[in-house]
Amino acid sequence: MTEFDDDDLVRMYRDGDADAFDALFDRHHATAWRFARAILGDGDGAREVLQESFLAVARTARTYTPRARFRSWLLRIVRNRALNLLAAEKRRREALAARGSDGAGVAAAEPSPADHAIAGERRERVRAAMAALPESQRQALALHAFERLKYREIAEVLEVPINTVKTLIRRARAALGKALEDDDG
Amino acid sequence: MDERAERELSAILSEIRPAPLPAGELLAVRRALSAEVRGAGAPEVMTLPEVAEFLRIDEADLGEILDELPAFELAGRLRVRRARLVEWIEHRERTWRHAAGARTVGAATRIGKGVA
C-alpha cells in the first residue's frame, strides 16, 4: 500500500477494500492521536476521539473530495470531536461545581513516564505554558511544532487564513518564550 | 526572543511532543474500527440470501427488488458488493425523504385549500 497516496486509498476503500482503510489508519493515527492529546491534555479522551474520528472517516468517506488533502480533512474531524468532548467535560465540571462536588476536572497535560525520568524545570514550564495557551494558539502550535505541518495545511485544518496561522504561532511561541524567561529570573 | 531562546524553545517543544498511544490501546482501537469497516459479520461480497438477511426481509421478497439491486453475475450466480448495497440503501433513503417532503407539502396544500 506504500505506493498509493491518500486519495488512492480513499477511492479503494470506497470500492470496498477494507485493507485500504487500514493503510490510512496506519499512516495517520499517530498524528491524529497527538493532535487530540494536544487539545484535550488527557490520554483517555484522546483515545476516544481517535477512534470516533476514524469511525467518522469510515462512515463518511464518500463525502471526501479528492485533492482536499485527506490529512487536513481527518484533523478537522479530530479537532471538532475533541472540542465537543472538551465542551462536554466543561459542562460536567460546572454541573459538579454547582452541586458542590469535588469531581475531578479535565486532567492537565500528563507527562509520560519518560518525561518523569528526565523532567526538567524548564520543560515543565513550557508544558504548563502550552496547556494555558488560548485554544486556537495551542492547536496551531501543536500542528506546527509536533506534526511539522506547513502553514497552508494548518490553515486548512483550523479553517482560518494563513496569516492568522502565522499570528497564532508567533503569539504562542512568544508566550512560551516568556515562561522560559520568567524561569531565568 | 533571541535566537538562542528560539532554539531552546524549539528543542523543548520536540521533547514534550506527546508520546505514542500505548500498543495495547492502539490494538483495541484497530479492532473496533475493523468491526465497523468490515461490517462485523457481513462479507464484502454477498450472496442473495446474505443480502436478504442484511436487509432483514424474506428471500422471497428479494424478487420484487432484484432489478434495482446493484448486483453482478459471477459463474452464473448473482452477487452484491456490500459497499454498493449500502450506497443503494442511502439512495433509497434520500428518495424516501424527498417523497416524504413532497407528501408533507401536498398535505399542507390540501389543508390550506380546506380539503381534509
CB-count burial class (<10 Å; 0-12, 13-18, 19+) for A44: exposed
Judge if pTM exceeds 0.80. Answer: no
Q: What is the pLDDT of residues B34-61, one digit of tens each?
A: 877 886 555 678 888 888 878 888 888 8
A70 Cβ neighbours under 8 A, 6+ residues apart: A6, A7, A9, A10, A24, A28, A64
Distance from CA of A131 to the nearest CA of B (A): 12
Which residues on chain A are in Cβ contact (under 8 Å) with B29?
A: 29, 47, 50-51, 54
Contact A21/B at CB under 8 A? yes
CB A144 within 8 A of CB A169: yes
DSSP-based three-state secondary structure for A15: coil
Nine-digit cell string for A15: 470500492
The pLDDT > 90 percentage for chain A reads 56
Which residues on chain A are in Cβ contact (under 8 Å) with B25?
A: 47
For A:68-127, CB contacts with B below 8 A are 112, 114-115, 122-123, 126-127
How many angstroms separate the CA atoms of B63 and B27, rounded?
Answer: 42
pLDDT at B101: 64
Which residues on chain A are in Cβ contact (under 8 Å) with B81?
A: 16
CB B18 within 8 A of CB A113: no
The ipTM is: 0.77
Task: Tell me the average pLDDT across B57-84.
Answer: 87
DSSP-based three-state secondary structure for B78: strand
Nine-digit cell string for A100: 458542590
How many angstroms separate the CA atoms of B4 and A170, rounded?
Answer: 16
DSSP-based three-state secondary structure for A66: coil
Smallest Cβ distance to A58: which of B14, B33, B81?
Answer: B33
Please report which helix (H) or strand (E) contains residue A114, including its range.
helix A113-118
Over 80: is that where the pLDDT of A17 sits?
Answer: yes
